[in-house]
């Protein structure tokens, strides 16, 4: 019996570590993220002013809807998201934008210390116009403290 347990133990440990790795690889945003955005930007179909924002996942949405609220004006927007994997582990929370000319579109949000975040899935009418005219976006990241 002891010998069988010793033979099975490495397999069980490997399975446990593999399962734990899969959970952390798919981790998404669980805590509110506070961000200072120093420029206006488009989220969904809304143009949001520069300011201090809180980003959080909407409860009961199965991590598929994010809400952001402007702390000063209490203006908010909700938008559908899907999981996104960063190529690095952020040292600070990050808000990523796609820029066409002078217009920024919210694209991704990552929580400090977690590679798994979210990205928007709906392209606004405004962004579709830029794309259809052949413009290519540049991405830029706003790191938060």
Out of 12-21, 49-58, 76-85, 93-102, which region has the weakest mean confidence (pLDDT)?
A: 12-21
Report residue 98: phi and psi, to 5°: -105, 130
Query: What is d(CA 64, CA 75) in angstroms, rounded to the nearest whole number?
Result: 20
pLDDT confidence band for 2 (50 / 70 / 90): low
Question: 126 or 27: whose pLDDT is higher?
Answer: 126
**What pLDDT sits at residue 23?**
37
Report residue 42: phi and psi, to 5°: -105, 135
Query: What is d(CA 110, CA 92) in angstroms, rounded to the nearest whole number?
Result: 9
- Per-residue pLDDT at 20 exceeds 80: no
Once rounded to an integer, what is the mean pLDDT over residues 12-38?
Answer: 60
Name the residue ranges covered by the structural domains of the chain: 28-143
Residues in CB range of 130: below 8 A, 6 or more apart: 100, 101, 103, 137
pTM: 0.77
Structure tokens at 104: 């920024």
Which residue bears the tokens 């488009």?
Answer: 42
Query: What is d(CA 31, CA 55) in angstroms, rounded to the nearest whole number?
Result: 9
Report residue 66: phi and psi, to 5°: -115, 145
Convert 12-24 to b/e letters by CB count within 10 Å (16 or more is b): eeeeeeeeeeeee
């Amino acid at each position: 019996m002891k010998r069988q347990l010793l033979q099975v133990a490495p397999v069980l440990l490997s399975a446990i570590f593999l399962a734990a790795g899969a959970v952390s690889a798919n981790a998404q945003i669980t805590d509110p993220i506070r961000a200072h955005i120093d420029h206006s930007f488009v989220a969904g179909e809304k143009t949001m002013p520069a300011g201090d924002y809180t980003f959080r996942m909407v409860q009961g949405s199965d991590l598929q809807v994010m809400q952001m609220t402007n702390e000063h004006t209490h203006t908010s927007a909700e938008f559908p998201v899907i999981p996104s994997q960063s190529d690095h582990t952020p040292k600070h929370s990050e808000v990523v934008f796609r820029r066409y000319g002078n217009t920024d579109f919210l694209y991704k949000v990552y929580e400090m210390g977690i590679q798994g975040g979210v990205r928007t899935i709906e392209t606004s009418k405004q962004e579709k116009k830029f794309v259809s005219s052949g413009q290519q976006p540049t991405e830029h990241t706003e790191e938060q403290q």
